[in-house]
Amino acid sequence: MCVQAEQLQRLEIKAALKLWHKIIPVIKNNNTFVLTSHINPDCDALGSELALAEYLSGLGKKVAIINSDPAPAVYRFLDPQSKIKRYSPKKHASVIQTADVIIVLDASGNWKRVGPVGQTLKQAQAVKLCIDHHPDATDFVDLAVIDTEASATGELIYDLALTMGGTVSKHMAQALYAAVVTDTGSFRFPKTSPQTHRITAELLAAGADPLYIYSQIYEQYTAGCIRLKGRVMESIKTTGGGQIAYYGLTQSALKSYGVKSSELDGFAGLGQQIEGVRIVIFCQEVPKNRVKISLRSNGTVAINQIAVAYKGGGHPSAAGAIVSGKLDEVMAEVIEKAKALLETNGGA
Ligand SMILES: [Mn+2]
């Protein structure tokens, strides 16, 4: 048992080196870096950027973090010095043009995922790298490290720093812990692995503060937002033998509670807390007579099929789309699709 474990560990170390061996020389041999991530950056995107930026700065590199969208207010505690910049074509043209290396984090697929700054980065002379845990295309960059087993890009940044012989500072540990805790849904999503917990243990040892991070991320809502959540919870209906939960939110309700749609993170998950629910449908009225459909499943049914039918996308257990139409009509239609999907997945 002991010998096996030791062998396994050696294999893992070898695997890590193999994963990074092409990227490490690029990092070592260059001096100026631009880091970026996807539009609507989440905590994994931001935490990975901040931790990698600090690591590279420690190696004496010049690093800029440039994103198309601003960091959501809830994650700004990770960046007290405002190192993450929102892309401005005028301000950032020269730093992008003169960069040696561009690193896209948590966003494989294509430059579109990176937003407007992606178009500028795409044309830069720099070597382009991508580090991600999503299983999407990597032909838009020169070199990529994709590990779909990783629960978060933050795990990969930790691994990279360690593989390069580096250490993790308290600030890096905070950023990476926040990345992992959010991307794993507090260590419950399927990609949460022994490796996730091993890395998390190291982050705690390096000074990450779970109580502080939890409180910053999950306990900073406005009173209006919590009251609106109460109203939405009150309105939840179920159908399909209790296996489908559905609810909607109008623009006027949002306004009357003084809540922005960017504050609705987690609303789609509310229906998942009901016993027996396999599919959640949350429809939100958005400007220009459109409806934002958010879908969740308990993992027994791939609801991204419904999202794809509306030209949206996502994962089997979390997906969405935006469509034209009236809230009630769109929701009724999605409910029918969900019922049909249940019919082919064990019945309603
Ligand atoms: Mn991620």
Q: How far is the CA of 175 from the centre of ligand 1 (A)?
A: 13
Ion ligand 1 residue ranges (Cβ < 5 Å): 44, 106, 152-153, 183
Cα 251 from Cα 132, distance rounded (Å): 35
DSSP 132: E
Q: How far is the CA of 153 from the centre of ligand 1 (A)?
A: 5
Q: To the nearest whole number, what is the mean pLDDT of the chain? A: 93
pLDDT value of position 3 = 47
Contact in structure between 45 and 107 (CB atoms under 8 Å): yes
Q: How confident is the model at residue 8 (pLDDT cuts 50, 70, 90)?
A: low
Q: 245 - beta bridge partners?
A: 238, 280
Cα 103 from Cα 145, distance rounded (Å): 11
Of 217, 252, 283, the residue at which a domain comes to its end is 217
Q: How far is the CA of 45 from the centre of ligand 1 (A)?
A: 6
Q: Based on the domain organization, do 15 and 45 belong to the same domain?
A: yes
Structure tokens at 115: 């937003």
Q: How far is the CA of 163 from the centre of ligand 1 (A)?
A: 20
DSSP 72: P
pLDDT in tens, 144-200: 999 999 999 999 999 999 999 999 999 999 999 999 999 999 999 889 999 999 999
Percentage above 70 pLDDT, the chain: 95
Q: How confident is the model at residue 315 (pLDDT cuts 50, 70, 90)?
A: confident
Q: How confident is the model at residue 13 (pLDDT cuts 50, 70, 90)?
A: low
Q: How far is the CA of 184 from the centre of ligand 1 (A)?
A: 9
Q: How far is the CA of 129 from the centre of ligand 1 (A)?
A: 16
Cα 294 from Cα 207, distance rounded (Å): 36
Cα 210 from Cα 46, distance rounded (Å): 17
Question: Looking at the domain assignment, is residue 106 inside a domain?
Answer: yes
pLDDT value of position 2 = 47
Q: Which of 67, 47, 179 is nearest to 113 (CA)?
A: 67
Q: How far is the CA of 38 from the centre of ligand 1 (A)?
A: 10
Q: Based on the domain organization, do 205 and 238 belong to the same domain?
A: no
Of 165, 185, 217, the residue at which a domain comes to its end is 217
> What is the count of structural domains for the chain?
2
More confident residue, 265 or 223: 223
DSSP 105: E
**Which residues have a Cβ under 8 Å from the Cβ of 138 and sit 6 or more positions away?**
108, 130, 144, 146
* Other CB atoms within 10 Å distance of the CB of residue 189: 16
Whole-number Cα distances in Å, 313 to 93, 149, 226, 305, 328 = 32, 20, 28, 8, 21
Of 217, 242, 269, the residue at which a domain comes to its end is 217
pLDDT in tens, 74-122: 999 999 999 999 999 999 999 999 999 999 999 999 999 999 999 999 9
Distance of CA 161 to the CA centre of its chain: 20
134-144 per-residue burial string, b: 16 or more CB within 10 A, e: under 16: beeebebbbeb
Q: Based on the domain organization, do 180 and 239 belong to the same domain?
A: no
Q: How far is the CA of 104 from the centre of ligand 1 (A)?
A: 12
pLDDT in tens, 285-299: 999 999 999 999 999
Segments forming the whole domain that contains residue 228: 224-343
Q: How far is the CA of 337 from the centre of ligand 1 (A)?
A: 29
More confident residue, 347 or 44: 44
Question: Looking at the domain assignment, is residue 348 inside a domain?
Answer: no
Mean pLDDT of 321-342: 97
DSSP 284: E
